[in-house]
Amino acid sequence: MKKNYDVHALCVEAFSKISASVTHEIKNTLSIINENAGLLNDLAMMAGEDGGVPSGQVDSATATIAKQVSRSNKIMLNFNRFAHSGDTPVGQANLQEILQLMIALTSRQAASKSVSVSIHCPDEITITTCLLPLEALLFFVLDNLYNVADGGATLHIEAIVTGAETKIIFTEEERQSGRFDQYNSGEEEQVLAQMLRGTCKKSSDAITIAFATNKEAK
């Protein structure tokens, strides 16, 4: 079955995949909370029997629950921010924060391949563009890069603004020649890049997204 390479359909596809990953992470945190709540219940029963419980176990269980609640809140905060990216056709945002958001939302995929990510992006870069298509494009690129990365690799992301153009360059930290030959650059990336009045190009050692820094609403 041929995919629908419409921009809106691609944004929905990215949203669906991120939703699946986020809900899986939330399910994991709830499982850990439930397990430790059960432990606390067991310790409470012990206290009822002889009046004493191992304080170390209580502290450990409550600390684990607090950690997982904090983790869940952070996951939902990131997902909520991503969900609101489509509130307006064109929006203004800090590029560093967008990159950090998409790395956070794809952290589960990166962890499954033991891939770490570093960013070099001046914190003062502010862009005006179609935010949801940009984030969908970043999702597809990151997801594909994780799929071809070697275990333990470090992915490096660099952002550069020159005049009216913004470039986001993905490389491996060691910059091995030919490293991205296996990267399967699909039509999805091209459709989304065109929406941003830009391009998404692959070379043997880098993936480069280039798009208009300031995009006016149509």
CATH number of the domain encompassing residue 119: 3.30.565.10
* Token pair of 109 as six digits: 């995929």
- Angstrom distance (rounded) from CA 11 to CA 115: 25
Average pLDDT of the residues in 64-84: 93
Both 123 and 32 in one domain: the answer is no
- Angstrom distance (rounded) from CA 8 to CA 142: 19
In a domain, 165, yes or no: yes
Both 105 and 20 in one domain: the answer is no
Residues in the chain: 218
Domain that holds residue 41: 7-84
In a domain, 42, yes or no: yes
Both 204 and 96 in one domain: the answer is yes
Name every residue whose Cβ is closer than 8 Å to that of residue 96 and which is 6 or more positions away in sequence: 119, 121, 122, 123, 125, 159
Both 146 and 115 in one domain: the answer is yes
Kindly report, residue by residue over 17-37, the tens digit of the pLDDT: 999 999 999 999 999 999 888
Extended strands (E) in 97-148: 116-120, 126-129
Average pLDDT of the residues in 110-117: 91
Residue 140's nearest CA partner among 9, 1, 39, 31 is 9
In a domain, 1, yes or no: no
Both 62 and 22 in one domain: the answer is yes
Name every residue whose Cβ is closer than 8 Å to that of residue 162 and which is 6 or more positions away in sequence: none
Which of 67-71, 144-148, 173-177 is predicted most confidently? 67-71
Both 98 and 139 in one domain: the answer is yes
pLDDT at 62: 86
∠ CA 32-21-87, rounded to 5° = 120
Both 74 and 100 in one domain: the answer is no
> Where does the pLDDT of residue 166 fall: very low under 50, low under 70, confident under 90, or very high at 90 and above?
very high
Instruction: Assess whether pLDDT exceeds 80 at residue 47.
Output: no
Both 26 and 128 in one domain: the answer is no
Both 100 and 194 in one domain: the answer is yes
Q: Which residue has the higher pLDDT, 217 or 164?
A: 164
pLDDT at 177: 47
Torsion angle (degrees, nearest 10) of CA 11, 204, 201, 157: 60
pLDDT at 197: 92
Average pLDDT of the residues in 49-59: 68
The residues that bridge with 211 in the sheet, in sequence order, are 166
Both 19 and 71 in one domain: the answer is yes
Total domains, the chain: 2
> Where does the pLDDT of residue 217 fall: very low under 50, low under 70, confident under 90, or very high at 90 and above?
very low
pLDDT at 52: 64
